[in-house]
Chains A and B, each alone.
Chain A
Amino acid sequence: MLLEIKGLTKRFGGLKAVGDFDIHVDEGEIVGLIGPNGAGKSTVFNLITGVLPVTSGTNMFRDRDITRSQPDQVAALGIGRTFQLNPLFPEFTVLQNVTSSFQLHPCSSLFDIFFGTPKYRRNERFIREKAHEILSLVGLSKEANDLARNLAHGHQKMLGVARALATKPTLLLLDEPLAGMNPSEIQYSLDAIRGMRDNGITVLIVEHNMQILSLCDRVVVISFGEKICEGLPSEVRANSEVISAYFGADYVC
């Protein structure tokens, strides 16, 4: 099992944002984490990546306890992530956004960087090449030298994905990758996510948009911080609890 989360709980003062939440992700899967607004989906992401401290529960990644790890340590272990809002470095160009995200593979020591040793130059050349590759993979080659803050919203999201890919993740956490995208961008993104899986990256997606269901091997539904259902996309679609969580109990036939 790649990621295993047990009894994850987060309280903000008296408010329980996530309660006793379990989820596991196997290697090579695409798992969807869906739920209505404010259900705690993004909170779960922030708890996994160490952005928020966990109240109780354990997060295991490749049999390592990452419950108390800092965000940069989690990234170094191989969990990449994207953000819902402001997913980039606005004052860097698109290319710089990607090259700056290559901190881990390959990694130059401070000594190498400061003195510009041949190893550092080799790494930087390699990074530039790889960055161009990733940009063409997400369809941003033409924008490589634009400032990131001038990008259209959909492109910014794709750049967020490109940045996450630069960390060479084993597990990629995508936080609402489709939010605010137009239909053609959505199609492109769905294909891109499928492509990542085919390249051996396991994906966990938080999403509102039900179009994501077509992509997932397994779906976990969360509402008010608790898991209400888990299963194949088709099962989840038919589940009455899910329908009532999204549309209210009146709509359940």
Chain B
Amino acid sequence: MSEVKAVLAPGGDPADRGEASRAKPRRWSGIGAVGVVMIVLALLPLAISGSYYMHVLILAFVYVVVSSGFRTISISGQFNIAQGAFMGVGAYAAAIPAVWLHWSPWVTIPLGAVAATVVGSIIAYPFARLRTVYYAMGTLFLGYVIMNLITAGGKTTGMSTGLGGVQPLFSNRTHYYYLAFGLMVVSMACMYRFEFSRIGVRMKAVAQSHQVAASVGIGERRNRILAVAFGSFFTGLLGAFYCHYQGVASPSSYGLGATLLIIMYVLVGGLNSFWGPSVGVLILLVIPEFYFRDLKGDLPYVTAAILLIIAFTLPDGIVGLVNLVKNRIVKRLGRGGLPQQPEGEVRADAPGD
């Protein structure tokens, strides 16, 4: 082994040094961009206080987290169509004790997150036997069953009209805005850490080949359950927050309808990139509500057109397109191009990660 060490000793091989020096500026520009967006979002209520726009942004924060939760589960190879139902589990687990037992929202919101995690993990156990399209089909029916069970709860759950009178957290919308913003920042930070650490590497390994993963000690079932538990925690958290914000837990806000929105956001933004779901929410939710409200009736057609264009031409979504353009420009400038992988690359081995 001594001659092996000699080869590696002086600062690693050249290819590796190149990677490291390229990675540094990208990392800082990324942190800078996120910082700017966060500052803008934190100051925005000063400009748009109390308006409809603030409601749109609160909704957007909820969907950013829930869609990112969907994507977090998907990096382990699970296309969880029951995501909207998990959101509903969180919402009803918060709403029922809040309405009937008058528990404080500060208790019921975490309770919603825990309930979604527990339900998600229990369900993930048998579902870890299913893969690819069979998993998707299974979770599709599962979500349907969960929502039916919820609405079948009689007076306790308010049936198909929903459970009204969920006590509000605040009287002021700005407070809701900051709570939603805070929940989003924390959730996204946790999910980022989850994906870009060794845990995420395990998930991606399982997704690529469960047999090869098992042969190096990465158990498929264990890791898939972990991914679902982690993703549904934040899904349930924001689901519970959302029902307290709305003041009502209604089946129409959750379940399959919500799942469809989530999948749209994720696919348009880019399934293979951490920021994909956020970009999807920006393009399909925030921008239309901000600038094209008078188009309301025609909006479904525009959305459909966007979806079809993405499906046929941009398998990696908008973020994939951005990366592609960025790569072209860098190549033009003669700096040899970025690494081939899109932003979702595995960087567990990044120095100082």
Contacts and interface: CB of A to CB of B under 8 A. Distances in A.
A46 B211 CA distance: 10
Contact of A121 (B18, B209, B212, B353): B353
Interface residues of B, number: 43
B22 to A, nearest CB: 10
Nearest to B352: A121
B299 to A, nearest CB: 36
Nearest to B190: A114
A156 to B, nearest CB: 12
Interface in B181-201: 193-194, 197-199, 201
Contacts of B213: 72, 89
Contacts of B43: none
A191 to B, nearest CB: 14
B44 to A, nearest CB: 31
Interface in A126-144: 127-129, 132-133, 136-137, 141-142, 144
A21 interface: no
B212 A95 contact: no
Contacts of A144: 13, 15-16
Interface residues of A, number: 52
B219 A113 contact: no
A124 B198 contact: yes
Nearest to A92: B346
B341 interface: yes
A89 B197 contact: no
B215 A113 contact: no
B349 A128 contact: yes
A166 interface: yes
A145 interface: yes
Contacts of B349: 95-96, 99, 124, 127-128
B156 to A, nearest CB: 36
Contacts of A33: none
B10 to A, nearest CB: 12
Contact of A87 (B13, B15, B212, B352): B212
A89 B208 contact: yes
Among B18, B220, B346, the one with the most A-chain Cβ atoms within 10 Å of its Cβ is B346
B217 interface: yes
Interface in A142-161: 142, 144-145, 147
A89 B8 contact: no
Nearest to B1: A133
A178 to B, nearest CB: 19
B211 A147 contact: no
A28 interface: no
Nearest to B6: A136
B211 A116 contact: no
Given A133-B8, A144-B13, A104 B215 contact: no
B204 to A, nearest CB: 7
A137 B4 contact: yes
Interface in A63-93: 70-73, 75-76, 80-83, 86-93
A124 B353 contact: yes
Contact of B209 (A80, A89, A147): A89
B217 A100 contact: no
B5 interface: yes
B340 A76 contact: no
A89 B207 CA distance: 9
B217 A76 contact: yes
Given A86-B209, A124-B353, A133-B1, A71 B204 contact: no
Given A72-B219, A166-B216, A92 B12 contact: no
Contacts of A133: 1, 4-5, 8
B33 interface: no
A239 interface: no
A49 B49 CA distance: 62
Contacts of B18: 145
Contact of B348 (A72, A100, A163): A100
Interface in B292-340: 339-340
A103 B215 contact: no
Contacts of B197: 113-114, 116, 120
Contact of A114 (B19, B193, B339, B348): B193
B208 A99 contact: no
A183 B12 CA distance: 31
Interface string B152-195: 00000000000000000000000000000000000000000110
B214 interface: yes
A170 interface: no
Contacts of A189: none
Interface in B1-28: 1, 4-5, 7-8, 12-13, 15-16, 18-19
Contacts of A132: 8, 12-13, 16
Contacts of A147: 340-341
Contacts of A104: 216-217
Nearest to A89: B208
Contacts of A83: 211-212, 215
Given A89-B205, A144-B13, 8 more contacts: A73-B219, A89-B212, A95-B16, A96-B349, A113-B197, A116-B197, A137-B1, A163-B212
- The 8 nearest A-B residue pairs measured at CB: A71-B214, A72-B219, A101-B216, A75-B217, A103-B217, A89-B208, A72-B214, A104-B217
